[in-house]
């Protein structure tokens, strides 16, 4: 999945990350403050991960990848991770069902 060229280097996220970096260390990921059922929890998580994400993109660019390549790789990795979690949950349910029958 390719990102539009306009998204590849907008500079908006970079200035946001610079602002956040002044307030916290890039290795710090704050814990959630909202309960699990709050509709804004996903946004809160995005904000919590933004600095680490920007750092990862910067490290990839410094290694020779462009921003679009790094973003696409992260999207694919996240997708594969989510699919693996779904499959693991399915297998756990199947195993539990087998032991209940036995």
In this predicted model, what pLDDT tens digit does every residue of 71-89 receive, in sequence order?
Answer: 999 999 999 999 999 999 9
Distance CA 26, CA 84 (A): 27
Tokens of 27: 């290795």
Mean pLDDT computed over every residue of the chain: 84
Q: How far apart are CA 60 and CA 51, in angstroms?
A: 14
User: What predicted TM-score, i.e. pTM, was given to this entire model?
Assistant: 0.66
Whether 1 and 75 have beta carbons less than 8 Å apart is answered as: yes
């Amino acid at each position: 999945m390719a990102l539009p060229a306009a998204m590849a280097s907008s500079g908006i996220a970079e200035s946001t990350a610079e602002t956040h970096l002044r307030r916290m260390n890039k290795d710090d990921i704050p814990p959630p403050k909202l309960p699990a059922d709050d509709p804004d929890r996903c946004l809160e998580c995005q904000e919590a991960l933004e600095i680490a994400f920007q750092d990862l993109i910067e490290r990839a660019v410094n290694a020779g990848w462009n921003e679009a390549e790094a973003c696409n790789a992260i999207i694919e990795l996240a997708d594969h991770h989510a699919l693996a979690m779904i499959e693991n949950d399915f297998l756990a349910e199947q195993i539990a069902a087998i032991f209940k029958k036995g």
